[in-house]
Structures are given as C-alpha cells and as structure tokens.
Amino acid sequence: MNKIEHIGIAVKDLEAAGKTYETLLNTECYKTEKVESEGVETAFYQVGESKIELLGATRDDSPIAKFLEKKGEGIHHIAFGVEDIKAEMKRLKAEGYVLLNEKPKKGADNKLVAFLHPKSSNGVLVELCQEIKEEPDTLPEGDAVWDS
Ligand SMILES: CC[C@@H](C(=O)O)C(=O)SCCNC(=O)CCNC(=O)[C@H](O)C(C)(C)COP(=O)(O)OP(=O)(O)OC[C@H]1O[C@@H](n2cnc3c(N)ncnc32)[C@H](O)[C@@H]1OP(=O)(O)O
Ligand SMILES: [Co+2]
C-alpha cells in the first residue's frame, strides 16, 4: 500500500454535500462520475496527495443506499493506493482477508478497485485502488479485467 488514495463518504444529497465539502476543504470538486455497476454517483476533492470521494446512491439496491438506511451519512470506506492490485489481492487472500470481488473491477476516477469485507479489517470497509495507466476507455465499467 503506498498511500490513502481516498476516503469514501456516503451522503444523501450529493449536491448539498458537495457545497459543504467545497467550503470545508476550500477547493472545488475536480470530477463527478457515475459508476452504474456500483449504483453510485461520486464527487472528488483533492486534499494533498489524497482525495475525498462523496458517494450518493443512484438506485435502491446500491451499497450506499443500504448503508444510508442502516447507518446514515458518514465514512463508508477507506481506499488504499496499490501498485499491483492483483498481487495485493493474492497476498491478502492468502493472509485470510475476505475479498468482496475475486477480480479487480473498474471504479471511478480511472482506477481498478477491489474491496475487503469490513469483518476482515475491524469494521472498516477497505478498497484497494490501482491507477489505470493505459487505455482506460477500453475497459468495461464494473467488469473484471483479468481472467486469473
Ligand atoms: C465508485 C466506485 C468505487 C471507487 O472507485 O471508489 C467505490 O468506492 S464504490 C463504493 C460502493 N461499493 C461498495 O461498497 C462495494 C463493496 N461493498 C459491499 O460489497 C457491501 O456493501 C458489503 C460491505 C458486503 C455490505 O453488504 P451487505 O452484507 O449486503 O450489507 P449489510 O448492511 O447486511 O451489512 C453486513 C454487515 O457489514 C456492515 N457494513 C456494511 N457496510 C459497511 C461499511 N461500509 N463499513 C463498515 N461496516 C459495514 C454492516 O453494518 C453489517 O454488520 P453487522 O450488522 O455487524 O452484521
Ligand atoms: Co471508493
């Protein structure tokens, strides 16, 4: 793991929360993006080398809708930057962590992502995040990108 890539915050109203975070961080949102495979819309704010990712739900069966219903607004996950997501997934699986996806999938902001179940990490949902360096537009959203 090389840094905290982003902290994901579940919000009910992305536009209203965006204004709050723009003022709080004194910076503008640099990107908004919908990720249909996750049922989320996102807004990103740079904070030093890390980011805040605001997450709103786009459908009722989204993980964010479920989280908001059960816990309300707040920190939803921590994403760690990795150089080689496939190698990290293999390492963590061998150490007994529970992977929520067996293969990396395309997330927001030009990243490949994978999640660890919160029961593996003391109640915190962890996202692994690798920057896509080549041909991001050729990767299908939400689909696994490696066969093994
Ligand atoms: C935009 C794309 C991407 C990016 O590029 O950055 C994203 O960030 S997408 C973010 C949204 N996507 C995900 O969260 C995918 C991974 N999440 C999941 O697979 C599920 O949400 C889950 C973590 C497996 C939980 O699903 P489920 O088991 O159906 O929900 P429950 O409500 O029944 O919860 C079971 C258990 O887990 C606790 N929980 C749930 N969510 C969280 C959380 N975010 N942080 C901590 N704990 C969480 C929940 O409280 C339950 O605990 P118990 O009641 O003690 O059993
Ligand atoms: Co995230």
Please give the Cα distance from 41 to 60 (Å, whole number). 13
Distance (angstroms) between ligand 1 centre and the Cα of 37 equals 15
Q: Tokens 């992502």 — which residue?
A: 113
The model scores a pTM over 0.95: no
Please give the Cα distance from 116 to 92 (Å, whole number). 9
Q: How many CB atoms lie within 10 A of CB 135?
A: 7
Ligand 1 pocket residue status of 35, Cβ below 6 Å: yes
Closest Cα to atom 1 of ligand 1 = 108
Please give the Cα distance from 80 to 17 (Å, whole number). 23
13-37 average pLDDT score: 97
Q: Residue 141's pLDDT band (boundaries 50, 70, 90)?
A: low
Quick one: which of 114, 105, 117, 107 has its CA closest to 82? 114
Distance (angstroms) between ligand 2 centre and the Cα of 78 equals 7
| Per-residue pLDDT reduced to its tens digit, 52-69 | 999 999 999 999 999 999
Ligand 1 pocket residue status of 38, Cβ below 6 Å: yes
Would you say residue 145 has pLDDT above 60? Answer: no
Would you say residue 127 has pLDDT above 90? Answer: yes
105: tokens are 């999938």
